[in-house]
Amino acid sequence: MLTARENMIETIEGGKPDRIVNQYEGIALLFHPFLFRSPLVPKGTEVKDAIPNAWGVYNAFPANTPGGFPVQDEEHVLVKDIDHWQDYVKVPDTNFTDEEWGKCQEMYDAVGDKAMKATFVAPGLFEQCHHMCKIDDTLMAMYESPDELHDMIKMLTEFELRIAEGICDHLHPEAIFHHDDWGSQKSTFMSPAMFEEFFVEPYKQIYGYYHDHGVKYVFHHSDSYAATLVPDMIEMGINVWQGCFSTNDIPKLLKETQGKITFMGGIENHLVDFDGWTEENNEAVIRKTLAEDGTKYFIPCIAQGGPGSVYPGVYKSMSDIIDKINTEKYGFTQEQLEAAREPIQIMF
């Protein structure tokens, strides 16, 4: 029987997995020092209590919402004029002490060989732009101030490359798990041509660096529609698109891409993760997803960007249901499935 890590790799590589990959079971999301200097906003942080990060962006994470997000009223928005963004943005230091790296290394050492060790990187280039500038101002800048936006993205790319260098030199992860949301439920935030103009080359630099320095798998999170960007994802060096919504027509994408990329998701939070959720509904959604998408180059998973859910118990319920299907279809016992993986990680 394969470990959860081995089974995930077989699925990504188009090999011979011996069961359905159960959401995030084959990958452990781990931190790097910058995330301790600029921590993610705690769940339950209300807007009135918004916390600034190392960039000076104020974030809140109210109850019953899927993640933290910037507070961008006139008082709190960081960049008030994108044409002069350098006047507002101070790039955080990326020199970390041996003690800081050692704290992270302890997290990596605590993970056994049943899961990939993956460095969690967030936010991505587009997200960081609109966290600093507001999303509408960022999108308008693509038309009205393209040179200034290109300069901002260049600055962020150089910052990410310095972070990547430290991660690869000190932590040597097998994978990275990189956030950057590129769309809504039914559309991307920009046309493919605009996306290519601003983001493809910077991401080729970032993901190329990771691949060239020992990182085998790049997981990119965008819980959205982004089917029109899949060719760009492949060009960037993304191995797994995590967060793909069912609205992307995943069966069609699987047929078109022929194993060049793996899709991890298919189950939007709104389908399962709501007040009054039930085991029966979760099971119906998961079985429908597997019937439509299969298991070749596909990993059924909640769409959000990390193991967990908005409403307590949903993620564990989904994992239990996939275990149930694996026992039915492949004959493994629950004890065998649990022995083949690390303890389930709940991140959110």
Over the stretch 294-331, which tens digit does the pLDDT of each residue have?
Answer: 999 999 999 999 999 999 999 999 999 999 999 999 99
Q: If we measure between CA atoms, which residue out of 184, 178, 223 comes closest to residue 202?
A: 178
Decide if pLDDT at 67 tops 90. Answer: no
* Confidence at residue 64, expressed as pLDDT on a 0 to 100 scale: 86
Decide if pLDDT at 66 tops 90. Answer: no
* Confidence at residue 348, expressed as pLDDT on a 0 to 100 scale: 82
Q: Mind listing the pLDDT tens digit for each residue in 273-282?
A: 999 999 999 9
- Phi, psi dihedral angles at 198 (to 5 degrees): -105, -30
Kindly provide the residue ranges of all beta strands, DSSP E only, lying in 37-188, ordered along the sequence.
51-52, 58-60, 69-70, 116-121, 175-179
Prediction pTM value: 0.97
For the chain, the distance separating the N- and C-terminal CA atoms, rounded to the nearest angstrom, is 30
Q: If we measure between CA atoms, which residue out of 151, 143, 141, 225 comes closest to residue 184?
A: 225
Residues 6+ apart with CB under 8 A from 287: 325
Distance, in Å, from the CA atom of 255 to the CA atom of 207, rounded to the nearest integer, reads 25
Q: What is the mean pLDDT of residues 74-103?
A: 97
- Phi, psi dihedral angles at 72 (to 5 degrees): -130, 40
Q: What is the mean pLDDT of residues 18-36?
A: 98
* Domains delineated in the chain: 4-339 (3.20.20.210)
Decide if pLDDT at 15 tops 90. Answer: yes
Decide if pLDDT at 188 tops 90. Answer: yes
Contact by Cβ (8 Å): 292, 253: no
What pLDDT band is residue 128 in, cutting at 50, 70 and 90?
Answer: very high
Q: Mind listing the pLDDT tens digit for each residue in 149-164?
A: 999 999 999 999 999 9
CA atoms within 13 A on the CB side of 261: 28
